[in-house]
């Protein structure tokens, strides 16, 4: 699962870069046209960040799974 999230995060970072490049190439007179790729670029970057956090958490749990299950049942953090 961690590998899948890492791949998804990498694809989203690439998509964000493409969207920001599209925004940069759009003439500044077209404000709405520039705003759409910028908003989508920010959104994809934030989703990529969340995916990276999930990938790190999954890999940390995979390396040491023993404390994860009791912590989940007790409702506490690791």
Residue 15 three-state SS: helix
Q: What is the pLDDT of residue 58?
A: 87
- Pairwise CA distance, residues 12 & 48, whole Å: 6
- Residue whose entry in the numeric block shows the structure tokens 């790729």: 37
Q: What is the pLDDT of residue 78?
A: 53
Q: What is the pLDDT of residues 23-41, one digit of tens each?
A: 999 998 988 889 999 999 9
Reading the block at residue 42, the tokens are 């920010």
**Where does the pLDDT of residue 42 fall: very low under 50, low under 70, confident under 90, or very high at 90 and above?**
very high
Does residue 77 register a pLDDT over 70?
A: no
Burial group, residue 73, by CB count within 10 angstroms (0-12, 13-18, 19+): exposed
């Amino acid at each position: 699962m961690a590998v899948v999230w890492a791949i998804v995060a990498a694809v989203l970072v690439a998509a964000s870069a493409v969207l920001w490049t599209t925004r940069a190439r759009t003439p500044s007179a077209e404000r709405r046209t520039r705003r759409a790729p910028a908003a989508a670029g920010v959104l994809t970057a934030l989703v990529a960040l969340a995916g990276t956090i999930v990938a790190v958490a999954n890999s940390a749990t995979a390396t040491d799974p023993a404390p994860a299950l009791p912590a989940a049942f007790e409702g506490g953090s690791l």
